[in-house]
Amino acid sequence: MRSNFRSIALAAVLGCASVVPVVAKEQDAAPGVPEASRVPRLVLAISVDQLSADLFAEYRRFFTAGLKRLQEGAVFPSGFQSHAATETCPGHATLLTGVRPARSGIIANYWFDPAIRRADKRIYCSEDERDPRSTSTDPVISARHLKAQTLGDRLKAADRAVRNVAVSAKDRAAIMMGGHAIDQGYWWKDGAFTTLPGRKLAPEAVAANASAARLIAAGAQALPAPFWCEPRERAIHVGKRALGTGRFALDPRDGQGFVASPRGDAAVADLAIALAAGMKLGQGEATDVLSVSFSATDYIGHAFGTEGIEMCIQMAELDRTIGRLLDSLDGRGIDYVVALSADHGGFDLPERLAQQALPAAARVSAGLSPEELTAAVKAKTGIAVAGDLIYSDGPFGDFYVSRSLSPADRDRVLAALVEAVEAHPQVAQAFTAEQLSALPMPSGSPQDWTLAQRARGSFDRERSGDLVVLLKRGVVPIADPSHGAVATHGSPWDYDRRVPILFWRRGFKGMEQPAPVETIDIAPTLAALLRLNVAEGDFDGRCLDIDGSERNSCRPPQ
Ligand code: ZN
């Protein structure tokens, strides 16, 4: 806009003294500087766990609150979590670091270290296994595995006045978005919000726990379904269970039912709102970061699938919850920017997919568990060890061979493992660590990447398996849905890789860009808006110009 030229020039005069990495402060709050040219005082980074691009496309026209407003900003309906390991921890780690899992080191939710002393050899992504109290089932929470800095880490390194706050139902989401230098971090554990080891709960978290405890003790009625959800209501029989008609009535004392429902997201939003108000986020000396990861979409996707009335109600409630969060910042007059995306997409349950024009979807068949593969390898090679010969966290992903073998025996075991895996009719491809190490880091449009390139995006030589196994499109890696999860994500296919990316900032012109972008583009996009100097090559992603006007948000006025 030409009329802003003088104002931009004024901002340049007032702001040009800063040449070191800096978060602009009072200098650009001068009268006459257009709001959209100022450095926002708060970054609100939202992750909706398991919000696939497909779900967003299905429901975007129905949103009336927060998700409607965000669609008035910059909309990238085809964002990519480009890598193969489409799980929560790797996905969250891309959002604010701007680097792929291959570089963040967060290659999965769990990986194995066959050399570690603990019996199960299993490592959780956000634990500190050096702490003797930490186990893979009850980990001591830490960001130490994250080999990259988050936006909050970088801002705090540049200016100690920055506050970096992260809230979620999941520890791994809060940790991977917040990073190493979290001022306040909360997640749900054993029926209440908890925080980092050695820290006390803030009064806002104490109040949030009291409020959640009252609701859980009392139970609650079913949630209303908007009219546009009614066509989704149809019972799908999975074993003895009927799914597709649930409305989230809460039995008294059902803490898990609380958190795995729209009420869990509402509690996370309430705590974020209370912390933002209590800490005066966005009203301090520097730009603050508030990361909020909503987990209920993921819990509901796993428990009910993605295409029933349960997910439809969740979409309606999520829209309202995000609206409340934005309204609370508006109510305090905060100048903020929002970035929303997801850690991965999701896929429906095969029993419903079969009725809905995708009969090729199937549950994984027998033969890929570590026990079955060990038997096959033993039969072929005659090699056995004390303890486990092969470690894995399921029928796909990273597989590790015991470290107590001679190099020659290890090679034979690996060769037999490759042969057994590749003979399985549901395996698309499998790659050895040696093969993936030899590949360059992929570039170019993520929709065109080969499976090997996708696997390379989440391959870390130190942590990844000796073999990475990818299942065919449409194979759901839950063999037995009679209890627990019925549907999931984690595949290298686009239903799990494609996620929406939305940005909103008051004064920016709305736009939609359907071309593929990546979630690693979010951090460089925000860093440019914040005028944060980042060394060349520190990000794997690129800055996206999120202002649809002739202004370019990647080149803000200095
Ligand atoms: Zn997730």
Nearest alpha-carbon partner for 344 in 45, 85, 66: 85
What pLDDT, on the 0 to 100 scale, is given for residue 523? Answer: 98
CA distance 182 to 13: 34
What pLDDT, on the 0 to 100 scale, is given for residue 28? Answer: 52
- Alpha carbon of 370 to ligand 1 centroid (Å): 24
Sign of CA dihedral 333, 334, 337, 340: negative
What pLDDT, on the 0 to 100 scale, is given for residue 30? Answer: 55
What pLDDT, on the 0 to 100 scale, is given for residue 365? Answer: 97
- Alpha carbon of 530 to ligand 1 centroid (Å): 28
- Alpha carbon of 50 to ligand 1 centroid (Å): 5
Catalytic residue among 64, 86, 88, 381: 88
- Alpha carbon of 344 to ligand 1 centroid (Å): 6
- Alpha carbon of 259 to ligand 1 centroid (Å): 14
- Alpha carbon of 343 to ligand 1 centroid (Å): 5
Q: Locate 80 and state its tokens.
A: 């990519």
What pLDDT, on the 0 to 100 scale, is given for residue 556? Answer: 74
In sequence order, what are the residues at sequence separation of 6 or more whose Cβ sits closer than 8 angstroms to the Cβ of residue 2?
none
- Alpha carbon of 271 to ligand 1 centroid (Å): 20
- Alpha carbon of 284 to ligand 1 centroid (Å): 32
At 277, give phi and psi (nearest 5°).
Answer: -70, -45
CA distance 188 to 167: 9
What pLDDT, on the 0 to 100 scale, is given for residue 557? Answer: 73
CA distance 398 to 123: 13
Residue type, 3: S
> Could you give the count of Cα atoms lying within 13 Å of 539 in the half-sphere of its Cβ?
26
CA distance 434 to 431: 8
What pLDDT, on the 0 to 100 scale, is given for residue 558? Answer: 63
In sequence order, what are the residues at sequence separation of 6 or more whose Cβ sits closer than 8 angstroms to the Cβ of residue 506?
35, 36, 335
Nearest alpha-carbon partner for 41 in 506, 389, 486, 492: 506
Note if 88 is an active site residue.
yes
Q: What angle do CA 240, 246, 251 make, to 5 degrees?
A: 95
Residue 112 CB neighbour total at 10 angstroms: 25
- Alpha carbon of 59 to ligand 1 centroid (Å): 19
- Alpha carbon of 168 to ligand 1 centroid (Å): 11
- Alpha carbon of 87 to ligand 1 centroid (Å): 6
What pLDDT, on the 0 to 100 scale, is given for residue 42? Answer: 98
What pLDDT, on the 0 to 100 scale, is given for residue 166? Answer: 99
> Could you give the count of Cα atoms lying within 13 Å of 536 in the half-sphere of its Cβ?
0
- Alpha carbon of 176 to ligand 1 centroid (Å): 12
Parts of the chain with a pLDDT under 70: 1-33, 558
Q: Locate 359 and state its tokens.
A: 């009969």
pLDDT tens digits for 179-238?
A: 999 999 999 999 999 999 999 999 999 999 999 999 999 999 999 999 999 999 999 999
DSSP type of residue 202: P
Residue type, 105: G
Q: Quick check: helix, strand or coil at residue 160?
A: coil
Nearest alpha-carbon partner for 42 in 279, 308, 319: 279
- Alpha carbon of 83 to ligand 1 centroid (Å): 14
Residue type, 158: A
- Alpha carbon of 237 to ligand 1 centroid (Å): 25
- Alpha carbon of 411 to ligand 1 centroid (Å): 34
**Alpha carbon of 190 to those of 169, 209, 254, 259: distances in Å?**
11, 11, 11, 10
CA distance 538 to 302: 35
- Alpha carbon of 215 to ligand 1 centroid (Å): 25
- Alpha carbon of 254 to ligand 1 centroid (Å): 22
- Alpha carbon of 311 to ligand 1 centroid (Å): 15
- Alpha carbon of 28 to ligand 1 centroid (Å): 38
Q: Quick check: helix, strand or coil at residue 220?
A: strand
The backbone region for 334, taken as left when phi is positive above 0, alpha when psi lies in -120 to 50, beta otherwise, is beta
CA distance 43 to 155: 11
